[in-house]
Structure 1
Amino acid sequence: MARRLTADTPLVVASHNKGKIREIRELLNFYGLSLKEAEELDLPEPIEDGDTFEANAKIKALAAATATGLPALADDSGFAVDALDGDPGIYSARWAGPDKDFGMAMRNVEEKLQQKGVIEPSQRGARFVAVLCLAWPDGHCDLFRGEVEGTCVWPPRGDKGFGYDPVFVPEGFDITFGEMDSEQKHGWKPGQEEALSHRSRAFILFSKACLAS
């Protein structure tokens, strides 16, 4: 059974990615938790050598929980393109290189699609995946997965969001995540049963299991 957090329990956001931290803070804001970021606690970035989103989320959350003695929430997420056999997938951040150049990463995706002759939107199915892991200092972990389907587009559109957002149009929309403000991208508020983004879909499952309403 998943363990629940209370408002008086500090929670470590086990990420060094500013975009992820911002979105997690936005999603958690309603619950009044005391949040601490990995950077302010001088936590190093652990080696993510898992072969699934779940494994890497667990690595990050457990490392932070063990180091601080506090519960820790980690996110592992990525952009998966059908015509590239799911790449970049769990390697989404690595495609951006050590400088986190996601402009380069998006160009790499497009170049590989062009090399395969994948031009038509109907051939460019893609999805974002996010897995949240809540870990406790004793090693207990709970995992929650969210996905959103859509299309990989080119050229990039919009300067909102982060990562691969400017080249992803979710199903049912004609604008990219990069063109949406955070409220539209999340597509969720406390009490709602549906959401749009992969992270907010995972968050709904996490909030039901682990957060007091």
Structure 2
Amino acid sequence: MRSFFLSVLSIAALAAWPAHADTPFTGKTGALKFASNAADSKVSFFSDAPMEKIKGRADGTATGEVNVPDATNLATASGRFSVPVAKIETGNGMRDKHLQGPDWLNASANPNITFEFSKVDIAKVEGNRAKGRAHGKFSVNGKAVDKDIAVDIAYAPDKNMIKVTASFKVALADHAVKGSAGTVGSKVGASIDVDVTVICAAR
């Protein structure tokens, strides 16, 4: 009889495990909503081309939100993040002005770079930290493409905040960014490496 009860308890424990294994929000239930604190955000990019290497930043500018309808299942998360093109700096004022022009990111017509995701595939959860891929639409120069972005989400229970970090590549051709004649591929990389860190507080 004792063995029977132990077996039942073991099965019950295993049945309950997935709900916790799929979320970094230990002990939380129901819906969670987080909004980013732009001042704490970090955004950087790197262009590697044969004739020139360019580093740029847009720190303190990323805004957005993360909504988790079911705290026991991070896969239900959705959200949106945005970075203003006018805030991107490369250390060269003239180059920054060109970057905002119609041949490049066209800031006047499309002022923001955005990523809007509708689900997250969870690869690994350890304690209050989860890794996975966010699936959504990434928009640059007014051209949106489907994009899967690897994300690392760390939850701080004492502050009820999350830190979202991501690293990914952006192909300029995917967003009809042509640049001035002969520039892309020689002075500007055809693909740009991007790193983002965003701090979001519960609301």
Q: TM-score, normalised by structure 1?
A: 0.29
Higher relative contact order (CA 8 A, sep 6+): 2
When you count strand as a share of all residues, which structure comes out higher? 2
Higher-Rg member (1/2) = 2
